[in-house]
Amino acid sequence: MKKLNRKTFLKAAAISTVAVAGGILPGCSTEVNKSAAIISNKKYEWKMVTTWPPHFPILGEYVDKFAKWVESMSQGRLKIHVYGGNELVPPLETFDAVSSGVAEMGHGAAYYWAGKAPAAQFFGSVPFGMNAVQVNAWFNYGGGLKLWRELYSRFGLIPFPCGNTGGQMGGWFNKKINSIKDIKGLKMRIPGLGGKVFTRAGGSAILAPVGELYTDLDRGVIDALEWIGPYHDYLMGFNKIAKYYYYPGWHEPGSPIELIVNKKAFDGLPNDLKDIIRVAAGQVTILMLSEFEAKNTEYYYKILNEGKVKYLPFPNDVLSTFKKLNDEVLNEITSKDAMSNKVYASYKKFHKNISGWFNIAERNYS
């Protein structure tokens, strides 16, 4: 693309404002098919596996929509059969299934693959890291997606940002957290990096299947849990069995959701079908975040107005201790793995810079 200065900007603006606004999605093919006649009529039938239960609210629903959009935009040339978790493979085998070609596509979250590639954690949500808007800026215009592709290319996969949950909540507790001492001995369902931090703070991070969370908290098998935010948490019924709903979701400030595509399968597609996949994934990223924010707003008030649950902020000393322990956890990961070090250096630098900008533009406004 030609470099934009004042002169070329004005010239381009005179021709078309759309072109200047960036009508071409990052990463999209810039070569437009010269003639519609060269588009082949070859039909593709693909399988798509997911880490979510079938048709799971918002997350699974968008996989269904993605498949529908791709089929419609391609006029039936690319048909995607969606399989929810356990319908074709177990949820946490999504990555391997797409890597080995059992399915051509998968939908999930990168931090699930920490055991295979530690650096994957930086493409999921990082505690005290970037929010949804910031992380998308890093992916598309800060080098994040390039690093993500570099990491996944070892597994024969191409990742695409494909959704985001937005900022999450800190979790459900039945005991007040007044200081970091109250974390000691507490059993909480909290996965990933957040769980490592929680354990370092003296608690124990428990991993329990989603279907058992309600009973575990109700029966006291666990003392606390985090899930997503007001909408999903209300659907799970946690408001009926916990007294306090803590904020902020320090451990998941905006969790990116990913689409993974088997590289060999993707490379075999004609350019227009590749672009249809890219554009549909981009559309999911925007709409999923919008729906999360709208539904969480609605259910935040619903829980508040029902009056049974108290919203409480984590005390400052708890958050600052979590932050310090998180730095230790991240340092340990990056010191042991060269790719994690490379990815986190880019992430950290972008986060620092964009935080400066957000301080001026967003924080002062809100």
The residues binding Ca ion (CB under 5 A) are 168, 252
Question: CB–CB of 134/153 below 8 Å?
Answer: no
d(CA 171, CA 173): 7
Tokens of 147: 């690093």
Q: Kindly report each contact of residues 137-143 with a partner whose C-beta sits within 8 Å and lies 24 or more positions away, as own/partner.
A: 137/350, 137/354, 138/346, 138/347, 138/350, 138/351, 138/354, 139/256, 140/26, 140/27, 141/26, 142/346, 142/350, 142/354, 143/346, 143/350
Q: H helices within the chain, ranges in order?
A: 6-15, 17-20, 59-73, 94-100, 132-141, 144-153, 192-200, 213-218, 230-236, 263-267, 271-306, 316-336, 338-358
Shortest reach from residue 59's CB to Ca ion, in Å: 11
> Please, which residue, 183 or 188, has the CB nearer to Ca ion?
188
> Please, which residue, 157 or 225, has the CB nearer to Ca ion?
225
> Please, which residue, 252 or 258, has the CB nearer to Ca ion?
252
> Please, which residue, 168 or 285, has the CB nearer to Ca ion?
168
The 10 Å Cβ neighbour count of residue 287 is 14
d(CA 155, CA 166): 28
Tokens of 289: 């975040």
d(CA 54, CA 42): 29
Three-state DSSP class for 127? coil
Shortest reach from residue 194's CB to Ca ion, in Å: 8
